[in-house]
Structure 1
Amino acid sequence: MTDPENGGGPRISGKDGVGGHAVNDNALGDEAPSAVIEPTKPRLFELLGPGLVTGASDDDPSGIATYSQAGAQFGLGLSWSLLFTYPLMSAVQIISARIGRTTGHGIAGNLRRHYPNTLLQVLVGLLIVANTINIGADLGAMADAARLLVGGNQFALVFAFAGVSIAMQILLQYQRYVSVLKWLAATLLAYVICAVLIDISWRDVLKSLVVPRLQWNAGYLTALVAILGTTISPYLFFWQASQEVEDLHEEPRRKPLVKDRNGGVAALGRIRLDTMVGMAISNLIALAILISMAAVAAKSGASTIETSAQAAEALRPVAGPYAFALFAAGVIGTGLLAVPVLAGSAAYAVGEAGQWPVGLGRRPLEARAFYGTIAVATALGTLLNLAPINPIQALFWSAVLNGVVAVPVMAAMMLMARRSDVMGRWVIGRPLQLLGWTATLIMTLCVSGMLVLSLLPRLTGAS
């Protein structure tokens, strides 16, 4: 049955669907809209927004190094994880986007409104640490890639890329900024081209996707947690939810779904399409990187690729100078996309926690603390490149830290999305609950297994 007050969507049990009655979900969202998808634009590129940018920023230089190291060290042995995580990461990102679109507040804003302040401060603090390390690692990787292509001073390039990232967020109008981010996502095609240029058995690739090669050791589990941490990352949750809120402010006719009785089905249909396309692109690119480095390792015998720049250099003798140049250019493009997302997600989290005016749609003088947080986070990440810190280890462990931080954030999101006092009639239904809790459980088990296997030899030796 349909409900004319719900835009022709499914009739909702109970009064307005509250009291724990969820709108019917399909595999990854609600029933498809019966009318037009929000927003009513004719081209897919214009329809895609926060989900596309979020998925593209997931393949940042830190992620590139993680996938490259996994391919070099384990060959195709971890490729299955990228197919396996697709429905899980799609569900988690859909849930985060729905929280923002439904409530009109980001993740941190909802944590502040509905959960203890201690939990809010701990999660936001961990997010800032992980994001700052990630920003520093990404800026360093971009500078390394630029040096491979055109030469130059490492630190000068780091500062230049940091300045460009800050300027994009502060000086560009919001809609122009979003358009730039979308076009930067096109640089991800470089990795698909690189994979095509590599000589590899595609039969082996397909087999590895459906037949996992599991290993029970600390190195394998650490690499798996790093992949999960860079694929299902806390900053992506905060960013996509806040971008849904930002889009609400950009279009005065739209309202949070808790205040909109007619547009919910169309809005959630648009979120589902946007997110699933964005996450599919993200995992396809990650798989292309892993395949390329697995082929390089098989031909050259090298089992260690520690940075995205090393990954690009390793391609030169195997796939030729064009693949090398494409890979290096892709590192720069994805870094220019990811660094603003990392800094922006930190600023949204800090601003919402402190109840400051937030939003890239605001002028700098209207949201000084928000833009100041963006500048400070980027500056701290820049300075990490001057500190006596191993950038390779910082890059890899930032992905591991993301995996650890993701667990409590995901649990809080899952509990939040089922609360009718938070989501109104648009609480998530059973399919999204199942996928979301499965992702949370798997992340918890992987992190726990990694810690146990890493600490067990030390504890055994001490005894």
Structure 2
Amino acid sequence: MQIEAAEALPGTGALRARPPGGRLARLLRFFAVAGPGMVVMLADTDAGSIVTAAQSGAESGYRLLLLQVMLVPILFVVQELTVRLGIFTGHGHGYAIRRHFGRFWAWVSVSTLLFACVGALITELSGIAGVAALVGIPAWLSMLIVVAGLTAMVCSGSCLTVERIALCIGLFECVFLLVAWLARPDWSAAWGETLRVPFADHHYLYLVAANIGAVIMPWMVFYQQSAVAEKGLTAADLRAARWDTAIGSVATQAVMAAVLIAVAATIGRSEPGRPLGTVQQIVEAVTPFLGRWTGTLMFALGMTGAALVATIVVTLTAARALCEVMGLEHSLRYCPQEAPWFYGSYASILALGGVLVASGTDLVELSVGVQVMNALLLPIVLGFLFLLAWRVLPEPHRLKGAYAAVAGATIALTTGLGLYAGIAGLLG
């Protein structure tokens, strides 16, 4: 009999078996497990987040760059808890709250989620409409194409198919890394501005709250836990699932930092403090430094990839959460005839977002406002996440000890800073 290796689970003091085999076997295992973490992280850098990062670079230069780096471990700590809960409970976040805290609290949590999802969906679709407008496609036509295409994709595909499509689309976001390089930022100026933090500036605090809300979003918690449970991951997959989440955390913040750097090095240098009103204004301000066609193409690819993957994730999350609390089938493993409420909710929410966007919205102002709203909702979302990890997980895998203190302090500091910055910014 082959003896399997064992390794400690952070925050539990318990050991779990590690699958036997060499590096190649573990690498293949990682590729089989990976997906939920990377998809949700690529969706995290959505159209609203990109616009928020661009607005931050335009108005505050490089001052919010350090925050993007600091949010990497915070994002990992939060989303790693969803991995544990998805693996060891086998349930989505909404169902877990309903089962352990009651129907009332489940509806409270899901109501905040739906509020955040609708706001996020509008920003995603507005971003797509803004990019389409660059090539002369009217908003109503771009929305018709997106709503019909994504509805057909989900209704005809499996969980794995949807996950792979979302990953491929989301990889277009990496173009922003090249955009930041081509913008030729002044790194000495960036370092100097990063260390000068204007805490007395209410508008700066508003942007701090927006960036926190742009990185830690309510729908991310719901989506990753449900995706992990639906994929059927087990304790043997925990290590790979954590790496999936860690790599995604670094990637999403690298994209956010790249957008901020690109805009700070262009608009922030030539017209510091300039407000941005539309996607077209962002492109027009950046293209003189990157070239008209190069700048437009790169921004269009990055924004479209970010918005599409986030639209898939946000709409699936809202539909799953609604059906979870109502006790209805909510999995892509079922066909539309077997889960009509799930697929009907998905199509209805997506269509509603398309209609609202086709009517015309101010993307930049809306995006920043939605991210601030996400920051203000963090106490409810992260509070339930911590309580579930602390009380519901099986004893060997429960959140406890030093790691529980670190996770609790991280969540408390993040929600506290988000609330303070958001309220101060709104009152200012």
Q: TM-score, normalised by structure 2?
A: 0.91
Q: Which runs of 5+ in 1 are unaligned?
A: 13-20, 249-253, 256-263, 458-463
Contact map agreement 2:158 2:333 (CA 8 A) in 1: yes
- The answer (yes or no) to whether the contact 2:11–2:404 under 8 Å persists in 1 is no
SS at match of 2:349: helix
Instruction: Report the secondary structure of 1:365's partner residue.
Output: coil
2:239 matched residue in structure 1:
269
1:137 maps to: 123
Partner of 2:313: 341
* 1:278 pairs with one of 248, 257, 261: 248
Q: Deviations over 1:273-312 (max 9, x none)?
A: 0000011100000000000011122343052124444322
Question: Quick check: 1:88–1:438 contact (8 Å CA) kept in 2?
Answer: no
1:323-373 alpha-carbon deviations (Å, 9 max, x no partner): 331111211122111101000111121111111111122211111111111
- Over residues 167-205 of structure 1, what are the superposed CA-to-partner deviations in whole Å (9 max), with x where a residue is unaligned? 221122322221111111220111001011102112344
What is the aligned partner in structure 2 of residue 404 from structure 1? 376
Q: Which residue of 2 aligns with 1:329?
A: 301
Q: Partner amino acid for 2:252?
A: S
User: 2:419 aligns to what?
Assistant: 448
Q: Is the 8 A contact 2:283 2:299 kept in 1?
A: yes
Q: Write the deviation string for residues 392-430 of structure 1: whole angstroms up to 9, x where unpaired.
A: 3322211111112222110111111012x4434211244
Q: Percent identity?
A: 24
Q: What is the one-letter code of the residue matched to 1:199?
A: R
Aligned amino acid, residue 406 of structure 1: L
What secondary structure sits across from 1:42 in the alignment?
A: helix
1:196–1:127: structure 2 CA closer, same or farther, 3 Å change rule?
Answer: same
Q: Does 2:357 align with 1:385?
A: yes
Which structure 2 residues correspond to residues 140-179 of structure 1 after superposition, within 5 A? Answer: 140-148=126-134, 150-179=135-164
Aligned to 1:301: 271
Of 32, 57, 61, which aligns to 2:47?
61
8 A contact 1:343–1:378 mirrored in 2: yes
Specify the SS of the correspondent of 1:213.
coil
Contact 2:139 2:357 in 1 (8 A): no
Q: State the 4+ residue runs in structure 1 displaced beyond 6 angstroms.
A: none
Separation (CA, whole Å) in 1 of partners of 2:326 and 2:24:
31
Tell me the CA shift for residue 147 of structure 1.
2.1
Letter in 2 for 1:223: L
Aligned length: 423
Residue 113 of structure 2: SS of its match in structure 1? helix
How far apart are the structure 2 equivalents of 1:326 and 1:44? Answer: 30
- Could you tell me how far apart the structure 2 residues matched to 1:11 and 1:437 are? 20
For structure 2, the residue ranges without an aligned partner over 5 or more in a row are none
> Residue 428 of structure 1: which of 386, 390, 399 is its match?
399
Find the aligned partners of 2:146 and 2:113 in 1 and give their Cα distance. 22
TM-score (norm 1): 0.84
In structure 2, the residue matched to 1:215 is: 199
Task: Answer yes or no: is the 8 Å Cα contact 1:217–1:453 preserved in 2.
Answer: no
Give the stretch that moved more between structures: 276-285 or 47-56.
Answer: 47-56
CA separation of 1:431/1:62 partners in 2, compared to 1, >3 Å: closer, same or farther?
farther
Give CA deviations for 1:86-108 in whole Å, capped at 9, x if unaligned: 10100100101211111000111
Q: Distance in 1 between matches of 2:45 and 2:163?
A: 17
2:56 maps to which residue? 70
Deviation digits for residues 147-174 of structure 1, max 9, x if unmatched? Answer: 21x2221221122222222222112232
User: Which letter does structure 1 place at the counterpart of 2:334?
Assistant: R
Instruction: Report the residue type matching 2:253 in the other structure.
Output: N
Q: Following TM superposition, by how much is the alpha carbon of 1:434 offset from its aligned partner in structure 2, in angstroms?
A: 3.6
In the alignment, residue 157 of structure 2 is paired with which amino acid?
Answer: L
Task: Give the 3 Å change call, closer, same or farther, for CA 319–90 of structure 1 in structure 2.
Answer: same
Match of 2:341 among 340, 365, 369: 369
Match of 1:9 in 2: 6
| Aligned counterparts of 2:86 and 2:238: Cα–Cα separation in 1 | 11
Query: Judging changes above 3 Å, is the alpha-carbon distance between structure 1 residues 375 and 435 closer, same or farther for their aligned structure 2 residues?
Result: farther
Helix, strand or coil at the partner of 1:9: strand
Larger CA deviation: 167-176 vs 433-442? 433-442
| 1:258 alignment counterpart | none
Q: Structure 1 stretch 336-345 or stretch 372-381: which is displaced more?
A: 372-381
1:110 matched to 2:82:
no
The answer as to whether partners of 1:112 and 1:353 remain within 8 angstroms in 2 is yes
The structure 1 residue matched to 2:289, chosen from 297, 318, 322, is 318
- Partner Cα separation in structure 2 for residue 436 and residue 88 of structure 1: 9
Structure 1 CA distance, aligned partners of 2:308 and 2:8? 45
Cα deviation 1:123-158 (Å, max 9, x = unaligned): 21121122112111211111111221x222122112
1:290 is matched with 260
Distance in 2, Cα, partners of 1:315 & 1:66: 15
- C-alpha separation in 2, matches of 1:116 and 1:428: 21
Residue among 74, 77, 94 paired with 1:91: 77
Where does residue 242 of structure 1 map in the other structure?
226
Secondary structure of 2:263's match?
helix
User: What do the CA deviations read for 1:251-284 (whole angstroms, capped 9, x no partner)?
Assistant: xxx65xxxxxxxx2x3221121000001110000
Q: More deviation in 35-44 or 396-405?
A: 35-44
Counterpart for residue 195 of structure 1: 180
Deviates more, 1:338-347 or 1:354-363: 354-363
| Contact kept in structure 2, 1:56 and 1:282, CA below 8 Å | yes
For residues 349 and 411 of structure 1, the distance between their equivalents in structure 2, rounded to whole angstroms, comes to 17
